[in-house]
Amino acid sequence: MGRTSRKKRSTLANRAIIASAALILGGGGLAAVNVYASAGEGSSSGPARGRTWQPVRQASTIDCPEVVNEIPEVPDPARAEVDRELAAMDTQITDAYREFADRRDRMARDPQLAQNAVLDPLKARRTASIDRIATAIGRSARRPEGLGSLAPCSLRADDEAEGRGPSEDPSEDPSGGPSGDPGQDDGGDGQDQGQDAGGEDQGQDQDGQDQDGQEQVGNGPEDSDFVDIQSVQPNVDKPARLRGASRGTFTTECGRNQNGKFNPDNVIAAPGVGNGAHHMHDYVGNQATDAFSGDDDLAAGDTTCRNQGDRSTYYWPVLRLQNGEAENDADADGGGKDQNIGEIQTPSQVTLKFVGNPTGKVTAMPRFLRIITGDAKALTNGDANANASWSCTGFEDRQLEDKYPICPEGSQVVRSFAFQSCWDGRNTDSANHRTHVAFAQDDGRCPNGFRAIPQLVQRIVYDVPPGPGFAVDSFPEQLHKPVTDHGDFINVFDAKLMRRVVSCINDGRKCR
């Protein structure tokens, strides 16, 4: 697998906007279709040179209810089967999105085709998986009722207001506003104003290439997903630390994934399922981590961490430079097969720091505790579990949740993850991989029934060319939106080192 850390002034090429008619789908809502393509050109002296900024039509994707958030506690005997079915449902959405993207022009002309060819078959597959989930739970506990209502999916419009063309009236937004409710298209003739008479986008020539002759590939991000960090006001607030606060830190040094450990698995959310993430992950720390790693495998695994007592697993979606250069995984699962394109960027810096609680002492976290922070499906799920944080070096008092930063010359892109810091005192995981841990409340205290543990704070820095032209990997239907960024952690500290971590933090020391 290739890895790069780009110093050259590669710029993002003209992005082709493939717009199509609004789709009125029975039960599926109205969605304006826009598959966003990116390709690269040669280097230039500045990020804006050679770039054409065009009005962006609203994007469309497949929106499915998140079943894992609605199922009750899963009995241990059923957990493996339930996890496999949940992962299968992710694959079903990926396949349906690919079918939709491959036939978008025909579906724009024939809305019923989208219903018949994409949404109805997807509903049938989801119904079967949901039934198997309910049956698996029902063998050991009460069978859950009502999950079948989560089977139907819809096509929905992107909620970004910036996507409207200059002649559009926001009151006639085809998405129906932030909720994405059905509305009426103002086109009248069923065709998007961004199309020419031949049904092709004006930014394309006859053979499906952009104006620079580059082949069009990819499904995001959009220009509206980026913002100049210098236009953002400082917005970082931290709770005041009380007299008994745990003020120390422990930093573990585990490298930047220089050895190139990647895979599209997710051993937390989809154990035992290859390509369970449908996007590629960077790994530092434990080198035995893949979809099939059990606790014993992790305990025996090699680690990139300097302190060999830390065999923890740290992983996150890779960041790619979308300059038209094909990465080694262009034909692989998690890469090009899942519409994740471009050169994977090796971070210029990775900091893994454990910090304390502003109101009191922390206790040791249990070995093999699993924590997912952020939501890989935040575009369609909403931001209830989102925890993305983007900024630039020199501007880290300004954090972005749903935009990528455009950093000034000499500044680098920063991704930060502040993980949940409260534990329920009993479980190392939970059915939805979330409820066994929690974030501290606004005043810094843990919710009732939870105890403070060392909080993992990750800071990942990239030296990429200024301006738009990069994105994190995502599930295909999540369109590489910045809000979908997320991080994963499995604690494999040995007991002696964990005691030292807690002691350093509670005593107010800075340790490594």
Sequential DSSP letters for 78-123:
HHHHHHHHHHHHHHHHHHHHHHHHHTHHHHHH-HHHHIIIIIHHHH
CA distance 396 to 416: 10
Number of domains in the chain: 2
- 131: three-class secondary structure by DSSP: helix
Give domain status of residue 346, yes or no: yes
Q: Can you give the pLDDT at residue 3?
A: 52
- Maximum alpha-carbon separation in the chain: 71
Residues 6+ positions from 76 with CB-CB distance below 8 Å? 140
Q: Are residues 301 and 414 in the same domain?
A: yes
CA distance 286 to 254: 9
Q: Are residues 201 and 270 in the same domain?
A: no
Q: Are residues 196 and 271 in the same domain?
A: no
CA distance 281 to 275: 10
Q: Are residues 434 and 392 in the same domain?
A: yes
Q: Are residues 248 and 204 in the same domain?
A: no
Q: Can you give the pLDDT at residue 7?
A: 38
The Cβ-side half-sphere exposure at 511, using a 13 Å CA radius, reads: 20
Q: Are residues 299 and 197 in the same domain?
A: no
Residue linked to tokens 């989801």? 126
Give domain status of residue 357, yes or no: yes
Q: Can you give the pLDDT at residue 181?
A: 36
Give domain status of residue 320, yes or no: yes
User: What are the residues facing 220 on neighbouring strands?
Assistant: none
Q: Can you give the pLDDT at residue 72?
A: 80
Q: Are residues 146 and 257 in the same domain?
A: no
Give domain status of residue 1, yes or no: no
Give domain status of residue 5, yes or no: no
E strands in 81-237: 154-157, 226-228
Q: Are residues 207 and 73 in the same domain?
A: yes
Q: Are residues 482 and 362 in the same domain?
A: yes
226, 255, 284 - which closes a domain = 226
Give domain status of residue 3, yes or no: no
Q: Can you give the pLDDT at residue 15?
A: 34
Alpha carbon distances (Å) from 343 to 6, 67, 283, 324, 489: 9, 33, 17, 8, 25
E strands in 185-327: 226-228, 249-252, 262-263, 281-285, 313-317, 319-321
Q: Are residues 217 and 282 in the same domain?
A: no
CA nearest to 270, candidates 487, 473, 85: 85
Positive or negative torsion for Cα 407, 410, 411, 412: positive
CA nearest to 379, candidates 143, 137, 176, 156: 156
Q: Are residues 339 and 371 in the same domain?
A: yes
194, 226, 258 - which closes a domain = 226
CA distance 419 to 452: 12
Which is it for strands 40-43 and 154-157: parallel, antiparallel or unpaired? unpaired
Q: Are residues 266 and 415 in the same domain?
A: yes
Give domain status of residue 433, yes or no: yes
CA distance 174 to 180: 8
Q: Can you give the pLDDT at residue 104?
A: 82
Q: Can you give the pLDDT at residue 243?
A: 87
CA distance 436 to 426: 8
CA distance 9 to 325: 14
Give domain status of residue 4, yes or no: no
pLDDT by position in tens, the chain (length 512): 445 443 333 333 333 323 333 333 333 333 333 333 333 333 333 333 333 333 333 338 999 999 999 998 899 999 999 999 999 999 999 999 999 998 888 887 887 899 999 999 999 999 999 999 999 999 999 999 999 999 999 988 765 433 333 333 333 333 333 333 333 333 333 333 333 333 333 333 333 333 333 333 458 899 999 999 999 999 998 888 888 999 999 999 999 999 999 999 999 999 999 999 999 999 999 999 999 999 999 999 999 999 999 999 999 999 999 888 889 999 999 999 999 999 999 999 999 999 999 999 999 999 999 999 999 999 999 999 999 999 999 999 999 999 999 999 999 999 999 999 999 999 999 999 999 999 999 999 999 999 999 999 999 999 999 989 999 999 999 999 999 999 999 999 999 999 999 999 999 999 99
For 383, the domain range is 227-232+244-511
- 423: three-class secondary structure by DSSP: strand
Stated pTM of the model: 0.80
Alpha carbon distances (Å) from 257 to 285, 303, 316, 328: 9, 11, 11, 16
Do 28 and 119 contact (CB within 8 A), yes or no? Answer: yes
Token readout for 302 is 């090699």
